[in-house]
Chain A
């Protein structure tokens, strides 16, 4: 029995990945809590963030995804509320979510491949840095375009949709 408990709480993910994942999930939760009225959305988001953090500690790839999906659901519900969170806040939450999902799963896979006790900090920091840079870059470009179109106009929406379709199409071609 005691062995089971030790097995359950033992960290199975590298420290840097766990730290970045938890921090990103907390940022997403914090921004949602600050920008949405009521307790329901922050409550759901807190559940998602907790799941993400525990799963990152345990190195459980599947539950990191489930936790992020709960956070994403909280974001969708927040968008339906009046007033909904500012656009910039929602983009920021999305970046934090993607970062938590990516880095958490990366760390779990890394630990599975080389072990929890192995020295992995440089690889983890490089990947987390890349992921954060990608998120900030995409958020900056899309928010900049949004602002330059002066909102979600029909032309702007169409342009962004075409861009997204091209992007996904190129991904499918590559794979």
Chain B
């Protein structure tokens, strides 16, 4: 759909007529024919530039609009995005084609494509300028890097001018182009989950003996113990019956709660991904790993809108999780323009946030443990962690660090964040402080060592 064409002067030639007239005057005063004619050249330029108005420019009044200029019948412009759905990180080519279907020569045509702010151009330019004769066509191509989410192109701006570029007419073209990129789940990590809130058979080593494969201990034989569990070597040596015990392997329900409020979209600089993006990357890995280990996993987000995937397992569940983490509006790559409860005073907002946590708690299965994912640069995630703990849930806080020490204020923000995480640790809540410049696996290993050391 095209908007009405508008016209405006460029002021490109402003001043040349005046300088030309001054040259003529000086030429007359100095009785210099050369200077007189030189001045005349300047005046002539101004006159010809203003006189050389193309018909498509003349049809649009200065500062006004016209519906009959730069129509699709004159100039057909189309945008083709190579594919609508693509893996994250891949390059996608975008081709803009312009056909001059009318009988007019366009000496100065300019195009600027409305590339979504959430995509970065990695090849070519999303804009071009050309001259186009009647019947000719023109193409320009650029490439964008597919980032997570759904990206909609904005309007393509077309402007045209006569050969002197005195007046420019402009229109915009709304051509719906969408690119969706949903990254794969890749669970090559191992999230240490609490083992005291297990649900049924799985692959998570519990602290109880049972039907696992890892040796747990030896106990005195009890009537009814299976023969395969009797320690025959011990019997041959001592004549006493003993039973081997193996570590019980259980599964858990885990819900990953992602902080996707506007305040969580924090990054150390403009080029780096924000904490929400890092959080989603981490959940993609951990969710997959949790399912691989026979657990049931779910997803919730606290932010602009409701996002909930109840804990489950299986390939369909995995696919649903992939779509939610890739493309759910609550987990958009761009921060929300407005925030839930934004208009309320701080105290009331805090109450509403607490109610939100209670609502989530009621929604989760009884034994589900919670992994809270957020930057912890304000009090929300610590508040939710304390509240979930108070409600009897096992909580782990995974915090991608978006802070830097580039300035005093940023250094103070980093200290405040470290203080919040330390406070959670003091309260016995597991925290994983993840520097996204390091692999998540490293942060998990280091944290596990700390936990095993009782810190």
With an 8 A cutoff between CB atoms, is B109 at the interface?
yes
A98 touches B128 (CB 8 A): no
Decide if B37 touches A126 in the complex (CB within 8 Å): no
**118-147 of chain A: CB within 8 A of chain B:** 118-120, 122-127, 130, 134-135, 137-139, 141-143, 146
Task: Check if A113 is an interface residue, CB within 8 A of chain B.
Answer: yes
The distance in angstroms between the C-alpha atoms of A152 and B37, with both chains bound, is 10
B364 contacts the other chain (Cβ, under 8 Å)? no
**Is the pair A119, B128 in contact by a Cβ cutoff of 8 Å?**
yes
CB distance from A44 to the nearest CB of B (A): 16
- Given contacts A72-B23, A87-B33, A127-B108, whether A142 and B125 have CB atoms under 8 Å apart is no
Report A-chain residues with C-beta under 8 Å of the C-beta of B46: 167-168, 171
Residue of chain A at shortest CB distance from B10: A109
Closest to A99 in B: B45
| B107 located at the interface, meaning its Cβ lies under 8 Å from any Cβ of chain A in the complex | yes
B401 to chain A, nearest CB (A): 27
The 0/1 profile, CB within 8 Å of B marked 1, for residues 5-16 of chain A is 000000000000
Query: Known contacts A167-B47, A170-B47: does B38 contact A123 (CB below 8 Å)?
Result: no
Across the two chains, which residue of chain A brings its CB closest to B107? A126
A101 contact set on B, CB distance < 8 A: 16
Contact in complex: A94, B164 (CB < 8 Å): no
- Chain A residues, CB < 8 A from B34: 79, 84-87, 89-91
Separation in Å of the B66 CB from the closest CB of chain A?
18
Decide: A95 and B165 in contact? CB cutoff 8 A.
no
Please report the C-alpha to C-alpha distance between residue A102 and residue B48 in the assembled complex, in whole angstroms: 13
Nearest-CB residue, chain B, relative to A87: B34
Q: Which size class do B's interface residues fall under? A: 35 or more
Q: B424 contacts the other chain (Cβ, under 8 Å)?
A: no
Binds A, one of B24-32, B186-194, B366-374: B24-32
Interface string of A144-175 (1 = CB under 8 A from B): 00100001100001001100100110110011
CB pair B45–A102 under 8 Å, yes or no, is yes
List A contacts of B107 (CB < 8 A): 123, 126-127, 130
Q: Are B36 and A152 in contact (CB under 8 A)?
A: yes
| B38 in contact with A118 (CB, 8 Å) | no
Inter-chain contact A114/B48, CB cutoff 8 Å: no
- Chain A nearest Cβ from B313, distance in angstroms: 49
Which of B17, B24, B127 is A114 in contact with, Cβ under 8 Å?
A: B127
Q: In the complex where A102-B45, A139-B41 touch, is A123 in contact with B12 (Cβ < 8 A)?
A: no
Chain A minimum-CB-distance residue to B139: A119
- A residues contacting B by CB (< 8 A) are 65, 69, 72, 75-76, 79-80, 84-87, 89-91, 93-95, 98, 101-102, 105-106, 109-110, 113-115, 117-120, 122-127, 130, 134-135, 137-139, 141-143, 146, 151-152, 157, 160-161, 164, 167-168, 170-171, 174-175
23 interchain pairs (CB within 8 A)? A87-B37, A94-B41, A95-B41, A114-B111, A114-B128, A117-B125, A118-B127, A118-B140, A125-B131, A126-B107, A130-B164, A134-B44, A135-B41, A137-B48, A138-B45, A139-B41, A161-B24, A161-B28, A167-B47, A168-B21, A168-B46, A170-B50, A174-B50
